[in-house]
Amino acid sequence: MSDSSFFGSGALERRTFLRVVGASAATASLVLAGCSDPAPEPTPTVQNQLLLGESDTGLLNYFYLLKQLEVAFYQKIVDTPPSNLVAGDKAAFDDLRDHGLAHRETLRFALGASTYETRLERPLAFDFSSIVLTSRVGVLTAAQQLEDLSVAAYAGALPLLVAPTTVALLAKIASVEARHAAFVRDLRTPGTFAGNDVVVNAGALQSVSLAKTPVQVVEEAKAFFLPFVVVTQSLPSA
């Protein structure tokens, strides 16, 4: 066979050859693409997350959230008190609510535009369905739980703050919270002031309030925040 017969009409013409080579290359590219790792799935966004922020601002939002919870609770009792509240109870709850309002607004002012509320699509409404609000013992038990938890929250998070002015402000609020806790405990059980469930009486830690981390406090109070999930991962921990 001559060279001319090979390159003649009976052989692949140059353009046909290039088309075949091009099609083969495209097919190979598709096969290789199919064998490569799939594109990563987008990380799902958790709905109803409540982000508190970082550093001192995050901790201020943490205390602001707890204070809002307290005020909402006392306001609910003031608005719809149990029928068996004894004389003086209503005035006591009025005072606790008013003190809480003063603290809440102080924290709101300190945060300015950094409150977690600016990131919410709708106002936060607290869920009190997990506690009994129709009897004196029910509301006093809940009040003691919230006050003791608040004291433990301040004891656990105050050492994490950096700015001296913020520490001074919150230390003043913490001292009032401790008096509130003692007052509510005495209302519930006359003649008491504190108990082994909230005070450490061991070694050098005589009469020191139990301290709880933000993670522990939010875990105990999470039922009140539903359907929101409070995110504490960004808060200081040490």
The model's pLDDT over 103-118, given as tens digits with 9 standing for 90+, comes to 999 999 999 999 998 8
Cα angle 67, 68, 70; round to 5:
65
77, pLDDT greater than 50: yes
Residue 196: per-residue pLDDT: 59
217, pLDDT greater than 80: yes
Residue 1, Cβ neighbours under 10 Å: how many? 7
Residue 193: per-residue pLDDT: 64
21 — pLDDT class (breaks 50, 70, 90): very low
% of the chain with per-residue pLDDT over 70:
73
Is position 210 within any domain? yes
Query: What is the rounded distance in angstroms from the CA atom of residue 15 to the CA atom of residue 75?
Result: 86
The mean pLDDT of the chain is 80
199, pLDDT greater than 70: no
Query: What is the rounded distance in angstroms from the CA atom of residue 63 to the CA atom of residue 83?
Result: 32
Cα-trace Rg, the chain: 32
Query: What is the rounded distance in angstroms from the CA atom of residue 58 to the CA atom of residue 96?
Result: 25
Is position 33 within any domain? no
194 close to 185: Cβ distance less than 8 angstroms: yes
Query: What is the rounded distance in angstroms from the CA atom of residue 97 to the CA atom of residue 235?
Result: 28
Residue 209: per-residue pLDDT: 59
Residue 234, Cβ neighbours under 10 Å: how many? 12
Q: What is the pTM of this model?
A: 0.76
Residue 153: per-residue pLDDT: 95
Number of domains in the chain: 1
120 — pLDDT class (breaks 50, 70, 90): confident
CATH assignment at residue 130: 1.20.1260.10
Residue 200: per-residue pLDDT: 53
Residue 119: per-residue pLDDT: 82
Is position 58 within any domain? yes
Query: What is the rounded distance in angstroms from the CA atom of residue 119 to the CA atom of residue 58?
Result: 13
Is position 85 within any domain? yes
218, pLDDT greater than 50: yes
Which structural domain, as residue segments, surrounds residue 81? 54-112+126-230
Q: What are phi and psi of 50, to 5 degrees?
A: -110, 105
Is position 147 within any domain? yes
- Structure tokens given for 48: 């109803």
Is position 193 within any domain? yes
Is position 75 within any domain? yes
Contacts of 120 (CB under 8 A, 6+ apart): 50
Residue 2: per-residue pLDDT: 46
Residue 202: per-residue pLDDT: 55
Residue 24: per-residue pLDDT: 42
Query: What does each C-alpha distance from 4 to 8, 13, 17, 78, 142 come to in angstroms?
Result: 6, 13, 17, 107, 102
* Structure-model confidence comparison of residues 122 and 153, the more confident one: 153
Is position 11 within any domain? no
